[in-house]
Structure 1
Amino acid sequence: MVVALGHKVGQNQRLSLTPGMKESLQLLKMPLPALLDFIDQKIAANPFLDWKDGAPPSALTRLSGFAQDAADTLEAQPPSTAYSLLHQLAAQHATELEQRCALAILDALDEQGRLPIPPAEVARNAHLPPGLLEQVRQRLLRLEPYGVAARSLEECLHVQLEEQGEAHSDMLAVLAHLPLLASRGAAHLASVAGLPVQTVKDLLARLRGLDPFPWRQAEGAQPAGIRPELIASKTETGTWAITLPDTPEEAIRFETALITRIRRTPHARTPPADTQDMTAHWQAQARWLMRALPRRSRSLLAVARHVLHYQAASLDHGPQALRPLSMVQVARALRLNDSTISRIVANKYVQTPRGTLPLRAFFSAALGANTDTAQASGAARACLLHLLESETAHRVRSDQDYAEALRQHGFSLSRRTVVKYRRMLGIPSSFERMQAWQAGTVRPA
């Protein structure tokens, strides 16, 4: 056997993110309370930055819960991800037993937000109904941040794809064989999935834009509760106006007077080189923040206006009027990357006459292949929930009955899809609902 040493020269292209670019991407994803905390830390560490009035304006503090008084610090601390999930579940009118199931699931999660043990074992340990606990887990999966309480990485990503309307057959085929990527590479994965290699590479690039650890990321960002940053209001002409009423960049001052004083310092009193370097660093950081904040506001407003104008019917008539919309569609319309859209939409809420809603709620997958005529899956789920809520003790309908009822409302769904949506909504089977009515307990809908 002959062993030879050699070398070769080659070229390749790849995107390299600078620290400034990484921070800009983080700014896009931050909710307003976390953003104000980030700005306050920058101001505390940079003499060239300050709040115009010495503190954040009252309008922003009302929106964010930002605390200036030490006595209010405990109350104003952003709640944990677990608290946020329980708060969202309670807003869906979860029963006391369902909330106990949610607590048992959240207590069993590992540091990545996965459920490492079977749901049946969690139910047995907590003395809870296994079927109901699994239904609650399915609901937790689809609350912000999407994918918490998943049993695996594949399930976590699958839920995020569903919520973004991108869980099509090619993507699911790649997701089903994802473990092959690390051991055998993209070419082998493409062969097993029965797809062209380039298609698989494009789908993998999209998967990389998802969040594999939503619990860990959310905990690191200290997510605040449901606080609207956008306002949707109807104008006199009957159209919807989407506004971003108060932006942090308007409340920050760049201390140009300090720069002037430094420049006027006599040459004999020139500070040492390390001080000059730190001064230059502070100025660069200040200028970056003054540019990055307006970009965040413009991007958020542009995405929100496009999404909410497209979904104006749902603002008028509720979620049953949702139209199919994916983040890829919005990205193409605004000429942005779909991962950028995902960051902009994350943890952002809009105040509407129908309540405060997550911006993500206006994205929904299409029920049909033709997106021009298809209806949104979110609209179908809202219609199903409305039908289930009108159920009485004398008329408990089966999944097939609801499939027929939905067809009369324009939603062509199979019984299997109705079962899937019912479980996503945390609604028990018709047999369990009938038993609940006969027992005289509150219906778990």
Structure 2
Amino acid sequence: MKPRLQTSLGQHLVLTPQLRQALHLLQLSALELEAEINAAVESNPLLDWDESEPLRVGDDRGDAPSTEAKGDGDAKNEFRDDDWGQSGEAWQESRGWQGDDDGDPADRIVQTDSLQDHLSWQLHLGQMSERDRRIGLMLVDAIDDDGYLREPLDAIAQSLLPEIQCTPDEILVVLRQVQRLDPVGVGARDLGECLVLQLDNLPEDTPGRALARRIATGPIDRLPRIGIEGVAAELGCKLEEAEQALALLRSLDPRPGAQIGDLPANTYVTPDCVITRQQGMWRVTLANERQPRLTIHRGYEQMIQHAGSSDAGYLRGRLQEARWLLKNLAQRGETLLKVVQCLVREQSGFLEFGPQALRPLTLREVAAEVGLHESTISRSISRKYVRTPRGTIPLRAFFASGIGTEGGGEASSIAIQEMIKRLVEAENPRKPLSDARLAETLKATGVPVARRTVAKYRELLNIPSSHERIRVA
């Protein structure tokens, strides 16, 4: 009986060079992107600067992507310079950024986040018990700059004493949650586990994924010694299959933590997007006047038709690279715009009334709304800033964890902190409100918060205890 040949169609995700470039460009800040483009133009003769007049934000003559979202008021409610007030300015400063005092959209200095800041922020957005969150924060603190957890779990358990008593197995459960945070692969205890975490994040039908996982959990450490032939022999696979799996492994990041926090402290940043309000509608545009504009060098493109075989091959390769870069830059802008559009829809109250109106919002919710992966959302907002009528703010400011209210809804942790700050500002300086009294007052307004939670938020706001706030005179 003759064997029958069968063909099938399917979709596969392969980490091609252009896909890796797209992911890389997405996580860059505006200044890093500018440096990346400058380097590309210098190294690729097929790339050239577009000398035409750059499109200005809000210019309806061009094709700048934009969107509009209905605001809660009409056009007469445009923001004023003093809308934030003193509490709003303090809220901004407590989170490491400043508003535009003079409305100038020029570059500003901000304190960039470390890897620990990035992970802790995500951890607080998740649904965890207070005990697990404290264990998670201890794990995050122990992760090094490359993204690895080098300390053994029993040492972590000792560090948690005497406040929390737990076993290494309990810590491992929390570690699994930390390992689901962005960047993918963070929290691994060795290279093999780091690669496995990234492989598990790929679709199951990714070519070479299953074999790559076996290599990562097996002979990965012996690979330099036994070579690809030894890997194929040990795992009982064909040499071609081993080469495909190793190519997939090489496309992964062995130092995922290095993606975050690599900007020097006190770095100038520029906004990637602009949010304005026109006729009662929120409008989102890319900050095109700050983004370099590239084009294909037509002279070199025409030379390909007349060049010799060797020169033509080189130029065609550089032309393909140039086209990839232009396409990926456009894709970066579309993705960023899509995410910011979603943030504007979900947090119009925040733009309208300030942080007290910030509602609970997580990466998962935004990912589901725009149809992207959580890690893509995290890359999209990492070190990205948006210029608004309330100043230039980080995209991370639109996210917050939630606490259930008596009305059945949720209040964001940021909104509750703002409520605490306002209560303290309005208190009698001779009889400051204790944490217990603040908790009772919040409960009376429909926000049941434990006293220890109030104390934690008060400390985050750098508000002294009630004993330290007493003013006799």
TM-score normalised over the length of structure 1:
0.62
Provide the rounded CA distance (Å) in 2 between the counterparts of 1:331 and 1:216: 20
Report the CA distance shift for 1:41/1:201 in structure 2 as closer, same or farther (over 3 A): same
Per the alignment, residue 30 of structure 1 pairs with 28
Per the alignment, residue 51 of structure 1 pairs with 49
Per the alignment, residue 8 of structure 1 pairs with none
Q: 2:169 aligns with which of 184, 187, 192?
A: 192
Report the CA distance shift for 1:281/1:247 in structure 2 as closer, same or farther (over 3 A): farther
Provide the rounded CA distance (Å) in 2 between the counterparts of 1:208 and 1:170: 24
Q: 1:280 aligns with which of 285, 300, 316?
A: 316
Per the alignment, residue 232 of structure 1 pairs with 275
Per the alignment, residue 209 of structure 1 pairs with 184
Provide the rounded CA distance (Å) in 1 between the counterparts of 2:403 and 2:260: 31
**What is the DSSP-based 3-state SS (H/G/I as helix, E as strand, rest coil) of the residue aligned with 1:219?**
coil
Per the alignment, residue 301 of structure 2 pairs with 259
Report the CA distance shift for 1:90/1:32 in structure 2 as closer, same or farther (over 3 A): closer
Per the alignment, residue 113 of structure 2 pairs with 145
Q: Tell me, yes or no, if structure 1 residue 433 matches structure 2 residue 469.
A: yes
Q: Tell me, yes or no, if structure 1 residue 347 matches structure 2 residue 389.
A: no
CA deviations over 1:42-82 (Å, ceiling 9, x no partner): 1111111111119x95969xxxxxxxxxxxxxxxxxxxxxx
Task: Compute the RMSD of aligned alpha carbons.
Answer: 4.2
Conserved 8 A contact 1:247-1:297: no
Q: Tell me, yes or no, if structure 1 residue 419 matches structure 2 residue 461.
A: no
**What is the DSSP-based 3-state SS (H/G/I as helix, E as strand, rest coil) of the residue aligned with 1:432?**
coil
Aligned AA (2:324): W
Provide the rounded CA distance (Å) in 2 between the counterparts of 1:21 and 1:330: 22
Query: Which is further off, 202-211 or 277-286?
Result: 202-211
Residue 221 of structure 1 and its aligned partner are, at CA, apart by: 7.7
Q: 1:330 aligns with which of 366, 371, 376?
A: 366
Provide the rounded CA distance (Å) in 2 between the counterparts of 1:158 and 1:281: 43
CA deviations over 1:343-379 (Å, ceiling 9, x no partner): 1011111222222221111111111299971111111
Residue 411 of structure 1 and its aligned partner are, at CA, apart by: 2.1
Query: Which is further off, 405-414 or 175-184?
Result: 175-184
Conserved 8 A contact 1:324-1:371: no
Report the CA distance shift for 1:258/1:223 in structure 2 as closer, same or farther (over 3 A): farther
Aligned AA (2:275): A
Report the CA distance shift for 1:399/1:171 in structure 2 as closer, same or farther (over 3 A): closer
**What is the DSSP-based 3-state SS (H/G/I as helix, E as strand, rest coil) of the residue aligned with 1:429?**
coil
Per the alignment, residue 219 of structure 1 pairs with 262
Provide the rounded CA distance (Å) in 1 between the counterparts of 2:416 and 2:51: 49
Conserved 8 A contact 1:324-1:366: yes
Q: Tell me, yes or no, if structure 1 residue 407 matches structure 2 residue 443.
A: yes
Which structure: greater helix fraction?
1
Provide the rounded CA distance (Å) in 1 between the counterparts of 2:257 and 2:426: 35
Residue 430 of structure 1 and its aligned partner are, at CA, apart by: 1.6
Per the alignment, residue 79 of structure 1 pairs with none
Per the alignment, residue 71 of structure 1 pairs with none
Provide the rounded CA distance (Å) in 2 between the counterparts of 1:321 and 1:412: 17
Conserved 8 A contact 1:231-1:245: yes
Conserved 8 A contact 2:123-2:136: no
Report the CA distance shift for 1:324/1:27 in structure 2 as closer, same or farther (over 3 A): same
Provide the rounded CA distance (Å) in 2 between the counterparts of 1:190 and 1:256: 65
Report the CA distance shift for 1:291/1:31 in structure 2 as closer, same or farther (over 3 A): same
Q: Tell me, yes or no, if structure 1 residue 359 matches structure 2 residue 327.
A: no
Q: Equivalences for 1:5-44 in 2 at 5 Å?
A: 17-44=15-42
Q: Which runs of 5+ in 1 are unaligned?
A: 1-13, 61-84, 93-139, 151-155, 441-445
